[in-house]
Structures are given as C-alpha cells and as structure tokens.
Structure 1
Amino acid sequence: MAVTPPVCDFGWKAPGFVLSGTDGKNWSLDDIRGPKGTLIMFICNHCPYVLAIMDRLLRDAAALQAAGIGVAAISANDADAYPDDSFINMLRMSREKHFSFPYLYDETQEVARAYGAACTPDFFGFNAQDELQYRGRLDASGRNPGPTDARRELFEAMMLVAETGQGPREQVASMGCSIKWKV
C-alpha cells in the first residue's frame, strides 16, 4: 500500500545514530554529515517505488556528495517478514549498484522511529546545522520511472540548502511502500 509522509517540519533537528553499514563499518550522523548539509534516505531493496528511481537516486546522490552534502541510505524494514530486505541482500544491492554512500541497517528500527520515517523512499534533507529543510520526493516518478526530463526536485532542493541553508517552501511529499514495522 502506498504511503505519503508528512510535509517538511522546517528546523526539526536530525537525531543522532550509529548503524552498521554494508561496507563493514559503523556509521554515525557525525560521520555522514557534509559541510553543506546531509541527506538521509530511508530505502529498501524490494520496494517498486525505490527500484523505479534507483538510477536517478544514485546519480543525484553522487552529485550532491560532490557538492559537499553528506549522503546515507538506511533500510529499516523487518527482514524476517521481508527477506529481500535482509542485510545480505542490502550488501548485494549496494555492491551491484555501486552505491557512493553508506547503506545502513536499522535492525531495531529505532532510527526510523526517531526520524518518523513513513515509507520507502523517504528523504530527509538537512542543512549544515542539522535542521530539516527538505522532506519531499526525488522527482515525479512513482511505481514507475517518471519522464527522463523530470525535474530533479530533491537535487535542486538540496543544492539550494547547500547554497543558502534553506530549503524550498513548496515541496511535494514522497510516496512509497510503508516501512515494514516489526510486530
């Protein structure tokens, strides 16, 4: 079932965390933070909404990293109920797709709950002071990729954050599969 997260709560502070990555390291918010901002993305391996944007997400994440924005992806889905989202499959996906950013496993789901993550994908764009400035979508894609010339909403918003510290006031919420919470 498709879920849409709430609109951006401007100024909300990023909760800290330490999570294991597919690269064998433990990552904290301090490790990920970029000098011009930070993008935390809740994704998973099996969601058709994530898979529909994967190539665009990888393109934009690499460009944002080059612009001084720290980027990380977190998977928080219940891997017992959804084996495609297991840590082994996260490792496989991050290697096959050559992720330029850490892919982190939130096995306890505590980080997803602290962030209020609602769906995959769910994007949290913070300025250099860890204040939320963007909680919108990547672009006009849904369960299927949008047009090749779709406006790069996440990329444009995060570049604005990098330049001014402020996100756009008009944002279209992301849409995706609900986080698969443990019972």
Structure 2
Amino acid sequence: MAVSPPVCDFGHPAPAFSLPATDGRVLSLADLAGPRGTLIMFICNHCPYVLAVLDRIVRDARDLLTMGVGVAAICSNDAEAYPADSFERMQDLARSRALPFPYLHDADQSVARAYGAVCTPDFFGFNARLELQYRGRLDASGSRPAPEDAPRDLFEAMRLVARTGAGPAEQIPSMGCSIKWKAA
C-alpha cells in the first residue's frame, strides 16, 4: 500500500545519529553533513518505488555531492520479516549499484522514528545549519519511473537549499511503501 509523508516542517533540526555503513564504517550525522546542505534518504532494497528510481537517486546524489551537499541513505526496515533488507543484502546493493553515498543500517529503527520517516523513499533535505528545508518527492515517478524529461524536484530543491539555505515553499510529498516496522 502506498504511503505519503507529511508536508515539510521547515526549520526542524536534523536528529543526530550514529549508524553502521555498508562499507564497514560507523558514521554520524556530523560525518555526513555537507558544507551547503545534507540529504538523508530512507530507502530499502525491496521496495518497488525505490527500485524504480534508484538510478535517478544515484544520479541526483552524484550531482548534489559536487555542490557540497552531503548525501546518505538509511534502511530501517525490519530485516527479520524482510530478509531482502538485511545488512548483508544492503552491502550487496551498495556494491552492485556503486552507490556514491553511504548506505546505513538502522536496525533498531530509532533513527527512522526520530526523523518521522514513514515510507521508502522518504527524503529529508537540510540546509547547512541542519534545518529541514525539503520533505518532498524525487520526481513524478511512482512505482514506475516518470518520463526521462520529468522535472527533478528533489535535485532542484536541494540546489536551491545549497544556494540560499531555504527550500521551495511548494513541495509535493514523496510516495512509497510503508517502513516495515518491527512488531511491538
């Protein structure tokens, strides 16, 4: 079932975290923050919405990194119930897709809860002061990619954030599969 996150809570501070990355490092928000902004993405390995746009996510991340925007992805899904989202499978995906950003594992789901993440993909774009400025979609894609010439909503919003420190007033929420929460 498709889920959409709430609208952007402009200025909300980025919650700090420290998580294991697929490359063997443990990285904190401070390690990932870029001098002109930071993009934190909640994704996973099995979601059809993520898989439909992963090439676009990689493209936009590469472009944002050149602008001084730090980029990282976090998988918070319950890996016991969804083995495709296990840390080992995350490592496989990071290698096979040559992800240009750290892919982090939130095994206890505390980071997803702190951010208020609700779906995959869910994008959180922060300015250089780590204040939330974008909580929108990548582009018009859903579970299938939008046309190649579709506007790059996330990229353009983060380019604006990098340039001005503020995100666009109008934002269209992302859509994706719900985060797979562990049973209580």
Report the TM range for the smaller structure's normalisation: over 0.9
For 2:174, the equivalent position in structure 1 comes to: 174
Instruction: After TM superposition, list the pairs within 5 Å mapping 1:1-183 onto structure 2.
Output: 1-183=1-183
Aligned partners of 1:4, 1:30: CA distance in 2, in Å?
A: 28
SS in 1 for 2:71: strand
SS in 1 for 2:145: coil
The number of residue pairs the alignment matches comes to 183
Aligned partners of 1:66, 1:97: CA distance in 2, in Å?
A: 19
Write the letter of the residue equivalent to 2:64: L
Q: Work out the percentage of aligned pairs sharing the same amino acid.
A: 68
Write the letter of the residue equivalent to 2:135: R
CA shift for structure 1 position 48: 0.2
> Which blocks of at least 5 consecutive residues in structure 2 are unaligned?
none
Aligned partners of 1:145, 1:89: CA distance in 2, in Å?
A: 23
SS in 2 for 1:177: strand
CA shift for structure 1 position 122: 0.1
SS in 2 for 1:52: helix
> Which blocks of at least 5 consecutive residues in structure 1 are unaligned?
none
Write the letter of the residue equivalent to 2:31: D
Aligned partners of 2:101, 2:41: CA distance in 1, in Å?
A: 10
Aligned partners of 1:155, 1:5: CA distance in 2, in Å?
A: 18
CA shift for structure 1 position 58: 0.2
CA shift for structure 1 position 138: 0.2
Displaced runs of 4 or more, over 2 A: none
1:23-57, Cα deviation, whole Å (9 max, x unpaired): 00000000000000000000000000000000000
Write the letter of the residue equivalent to 2:37: G
> Pairwise CA RMSD of aligned residues?
0.3
